[in-house]
Amino acid sequence: MSTTTVTVTGEPGYDIRIGRDILGDLPELIGPGAAKVLIVHPATLGARAERLRVSLSDRYEVLLAEIPDAETGKRIEVAAFCWQVMGQSDFTRSDVVIGFGGGSVTDLAGFVAATWLRGIALIQVPTTLLGMVDASIGGKTGINTNEGKNLVGAFYAPSAVLVDLDTLDGLSQNEILAGFAEVVKAGFIAEPEILDIIERDVDVATDPHSAEFRRLVELSIALKARVVGEDFKENGLREILNYGHTLGHAVEYAERFQWRHGAAVAIGMVYAAELGRLTGRLSDDVVDRHRSILTSLQLPISYPAGRWPTLLSVMKRDKKARGALLRFIVLDDVARPTVLTGPDESLLFAAYQEIGS
Ligand SMILES: NC(=O)c1ccc[n+]([C@@H]2O[C@H](COP(=O)([O-])OP(=O)(O)OC[C@H]3O[C@@H](n4cnc5c(N)ncnc54)[C@H](O)[C@@H]3O)[C@@H](O)[C@H]2O)c1
């Protein structure tokens, strides 16, 4: 099947290539000017990273940086390890970093590329659904500190993103379904076709080998590309991507980051839908649609009623960190997002009662 290209506009713009069995496109994306390539990857993808190294090694000197898995890879010590590998092999401005893994790897690799010699070329090759539709696109790179997640980082656009759906082979169904929360989000804020495809046949929609799955990935990527192309540094439109995330982040915090991001965002979307309904914006049908679609994807739609004080205080603390009023993205209808600023606490509580279990 052919490759689909989605272009992210901006300065600099870049292409996202989507297809199957397209890792062979990498030399074309790396270009002839580079001498060295660093592939940053987790141990889970060690064998595949090695195959990638071999496939590129007739043209480039290819180094592998195997990093700790998931969030433990997003640490300053791990970035320093990558800088050390690059320094010891005289990485120059014309050389290239490849992030080969899930969102944790693309975040770390992006940060390393953004900081080495004040920025060298970065190619993101996401291997999780979340990485494909969200983390690898949009140029947010970063690491965690002891004080919190993603506190240090840079907006740094990749020079290309290669989404090879075949790299999802081996990823657990649980990770696929967690990634679907961001796909559903794209459906509710902008792309109703996504919701229709999932409702038509959820098994087909979530099968990484189906044409429908590819269509969902393409629609989600096209939406994110459009939004970040217009608002790279999150000064306006990009905020719509936070649908479900205000409460979702608080749930992640309350769960000490042991939950998949998608599960927390699923609860956050139902909460935002209830806020929309209680403020007279959203119909019962659309709110029900949130619950039925997320349930069909085995994602949670409720959270213990007694956790409200914790969630509220975390949201307030986040709000303080951003120096603004508490803000929620809510919907006037499917594909009609808007911002709800500084809602009354009684309204916030009433909406929580609708999702409390
Ligand atoms: N930069 C952004 O805009 C942005 C957006 C959303 C999320 N994120 C970040 O993304 C991270 C979460 O990303 P994630 O959900 O991809 O998690 P992840 O990177 O931790 O990967 C999840 C697990 O899947 C494994 N894995 C990856 N690809 C695999 C494959 N093909 N086969 C088998 N196993 C595989 C990993 O080793 C890991 O254990 C978080 O750190 C989050 O902050 C960033």
Give the pLDDT confidence of 180-232 residue by residue, as tens digits: 999 999 999 999 999 999 999 999 999 999 999 999 999 999 999 999 999 88
Q: Kindly give the distance from the C-alpha atom of residue 322 to the centroid of ligand 1, in angstroms, as a whole number.
A: 25
Q: Kindly give the distance from the C-alpha atom of residue 101 to the centroid of ligand 1, in angstroms, as a whole number.
A: 7
Q: What is the pLDDT of residues 92-111, one digit of tens each?
A: 999 999 999 999 999 999 99
**HEC states along 51-95?**
HHHHHHCCCCEEEEEEECCHHHHCCHHHHHHHHHHHHHCCCCCCC
Rounded Cα gap, residues 281 and 160, in angstroms: 39
Distances (CA, A) of 324 to 51, 271, 319, 320, 340: 48, 21, 6, 6, 12
Domain boundary among 139, 168, 197: 168
Rounded Cα gap, residues 38 and 95, in angstroms: 8
For residue 80, name the pLDDT band (cuts at 50, 70, 90). Answer: very high
Q: Kindly give the distance from the C-alpha atom of residue 124 to the centroid of ligand 1, in angstroms, as a whole number.
A: 12
Which pLDDT score, from 0 to 100, does residue 202 have? Answer: 98
pTM above 0.95, yes or no: yes
Enumerate residues 6+ apart whose C-beta is below 8 A from 126.
99, 101, 102, 103, 106, 132, 135, 136, 161, 163, 167
Same domain, 147 and 184: no
Query: Reduced to 3 states, what is the DSSP secondary structure of residue 308?
Result: helix
Same domain, 349 and 201: yes
Token pair recorded at residue 175: 């990770």
Q: Which atom of ligand 1 is nearest to the CA of 178?
A: 15
Domain boundary among 122, 150, 168: 168
Same domain, 8 and 24: yes
Token pair recorded at residue 322: 């951003």
Enumerate residues 6+ apart whose C-beta is below 8 A from 163.
16, 17, 18, 19, 126, 132, 136, 217, 221
Which pLDDT score, from 0 to 100, does residue 324 have? Answer: 72
Q: What value does the mean pLDDT take over residues 52-59?
A: 97
**Helix ranges, 190-283 (H):** 192-200, 202-205, 211-230, 245-254, 261-278
Among the residue ranges 45-54, 134-143, 277-286, 310-319, the one predicted with the least confidence is 310-319
Q: Decide: 125 and 98 in contact? Cβ < 8 Å.
A: yes
Q: Kindly give the distance from the C-alpha atom of residue 290 to the centroid of ligand 1, in angstroms, as a whole number.
A: 24
Q: Kindly give the distance from the C-alpha atom of residue 102 to the centroid of ligand 1, in angstroms, as a whole number.
A: 3
Report the pocket of ligand 1 as residue ranges, CB < 6 Å.
Answer: 42, 44-45, 69-71, 74, 101-105, 107, 127-128, 130-131, 134-135, 138, 140, 150, 167-168, 170-171, 175, 261
**CATH label of the domain that carries residue 77:** 3.40.50.1970
**CATH label of the domain that carries residue 195:** 1.20.1090.10
Query: What is the domain range of residue 286?
Result: 173-355
Q: Is the pLDDT of residue 322 over 90?
A: no
Nearest 5°: the CA angle 9, 131, 92 is 65
Same domain, 193 and 80: no
Rounded Cα gap, residues 74 and 333, in angstroms: 37
Give the H/E segment covering residue 115.
helix 103-115
Q: Kindly give the distance from the C-alpha atom of residue 114 to the centroid of ligand 1, in angstroms, as a whole number.
A: 19
Q: What is the pLDDT of residues 167-192, one digit of tens each?
A: 999 999 999 999 999 999 999 999 99
Q: Which atom of ligand 1 is nearest to the CA of 70?
A: 20
For residue 240, name the pLDDT band (cuts at 50, 70, 90). Answer: very high
Q: Is the pLDDT of residue 321 over 60?
A: no
Q: Which amino acid is at 217?
A: V
Token pair recorded at residue 52: 């990638």
Domain boundary among 120, 145, 168: 168
Q: Kindly give the distance from the C-alpha atom of residue 138 to the centroid of ligand 1, in angstroms, as a whole number.
A: 15
Same domain, 136 and 195: no
Same domain, 131 and 260: no
Distances (CA, A) of 130 to 175, 278, 315: 8, 30, 23
Its sign, for the CA torsion 80, 81, 86, 89, is positive
End-to-end CA distance of the chain: 45
Same domain, 206 and 138: no
Which pLDDT score, from 0 to 100, does residue 27 have? Answer: 97
Q: What value does the mean pLDDT take over residues 118-124?
A: 98
Rounded Cα gap, residues 104 and 112, in angstroms: 12
Nearest CA to ligand 1 atom 38: 70
Same domain, 138 and 99: yes
Q: Which atom of ligand 1 is nearest to the CA of 179?
A: 15
Q: How many domains does the chain have?
A: 2
Q: What are phi and psi of 22, to 5 degrees?
A: -115, 15
DSSP 295: H
Best of 40, 44, 144, 239 to mutate for ligand 1, by most ligand atoms within 8 A of CB? 44
Enumerate residues 6+ apart whose C-beta is below 8 A from 237.
227, 230, 231
Same domain, 326 and 343: yes
Same domain, 253 and 217: yes
Nearest CA to ligand 1 atom 9: 103
Q: Which amino acid is at 141?
A: T
Nearest CA to ligand 1 atom 4: 135
Token pair recorded at residue 161: 């993103």
The pLDDT mean for the chain works out to 96
Same domain, 328 and 182: yes
Rounded Cα gap, residues 37 and 42, in angstroms: 16
Nearest CA to ligand 1 atom 33: 171
Same domain, 240 and 314: yes
